[in-house]
């Protein structure tokens, strides 16, 4: 299946086209803001880079979170719009699931993996895996909760590990880069897309300020 994938969940904005056998083209740009303006032109560019068009796309894949509230919404809105316009099925994937899959491919020797993602707050987005399968639910956790997993033999990975180690001391870690749209497309290739639109994975309420007159 030919898959168009997008991701804006964690500081990068990316799009990729999977041609049925491989990621034929991918564009990744680091940006904390401006994803809403950049993503659709990026999709058009990645299709041109792959020598494809929207008519070639058979399904759309997108990260559902956890991550930046705005980034997750931008990615989902773009993916929903493309799928709706073309009547395409969709695959929504958790950033944590894709990262665990990527870590298993790059570090098959690690059996107990604890993914620690940056929230830019006092806590972290966390999920643990054993043998590639989820061992805990995804949740926002404190450093103390993560320490318990580290003491239990889990190896830490993710973009929140550097801050955790700096603030809490050494732990067993492995280097795995955060997933981009190319990883999302390759991961989604092993799944069956659905006609239902995926829902965002939020592990906490959005922080908003009410303005009262």
Tokens of 62: 């997108």
Q: What is the 3-state secondary structure (H, E, C) of 140-161?
A: EECHHHHHHHHHCCCEEECCCH
Identify the burial level of 32 via C-beta atoms within 10 angstroms of its C-beta, where 0-12 means exposed, 13-18 middle and 19 or more buried. exposed
Global pTM reads 0.93
Peptide bond between residue 66 and the one before it cis (omega within 30 degrees of 0): yes
| CB distance 126 to 141 below 8 Å | yes
In the chain, domain spans: 3-94+179-188, 108-168
C-alpha–C-alpha distance, residues 204 and 48, integer Å:
38
Q: What is the pLDDT of residue 32?
A: 83
Q: What is the pLDDT of residue 145?
A: 96
Q: What is the pLDDT of residue 12?
A: 93
| CB distance 113 to 103 below 8 Å | yes
Q: What is the pLDDT of residue 206?
A: 55
**Dihedral in degrees, nearest 10, Cα atoms 164, 169, 170, 174:** 0
Tokens of 72: 């997750």
What fold characterizes domain 3-94+179-188?
A: Nucleotidyltransferase; domain 5 (3.30.420)
Q: What angle do CA 28, 107, 95 make, to 5 degrees?
A: 45
With a cut of 70, which residues of the chain have pLDDT below it? Answer: 205-213
Q: What is the pLDDT of residue 162?
A: 97
């Amino acid at each position: 299946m030919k898959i168009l994938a997008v991701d804006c969940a964690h500081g990068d904005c990316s799009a990729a086209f999977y041609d049925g056998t491989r990621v034929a083209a991918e564009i990744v740009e680091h940006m904390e803001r401006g994803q809403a303006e950049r993503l659709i032109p990026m999709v058009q560019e990645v299709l041109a880079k792959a020598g494809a068009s929207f008519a070639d796309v058979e399904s759309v894949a997108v990260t559902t979170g956890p991550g930046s509230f705005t980034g997750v919404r931008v990615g989902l809105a773009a993916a929903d719009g493309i799928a709706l316009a073309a009547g395409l099925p969709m695959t929504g994937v958790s950033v944590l699931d894709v990262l665990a899959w990527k870590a298993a491919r790059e570090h098959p020797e690690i059996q107990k993996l604890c993914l620690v993602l940056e929230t830019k707050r006092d806590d972290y987005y966390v999920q643990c895996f054993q043998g590639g399968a989820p061992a805990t639910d995804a949740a926002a956790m404190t450093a103390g909760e993560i320490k318990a997993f580290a003491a239990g033999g889990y190896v830490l990975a993710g973009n929140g590990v550097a801050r955790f180690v700096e603030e809490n001391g050494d732990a067993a870690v492995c280097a795995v880069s955060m997933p981009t749209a190319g990883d999302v497309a390759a991961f989604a290739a092993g799944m069956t897309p659905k006609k239902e639109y995926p829902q965002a994975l939020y592990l906490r309420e959005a922080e908003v300020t009410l303005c009262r007159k």
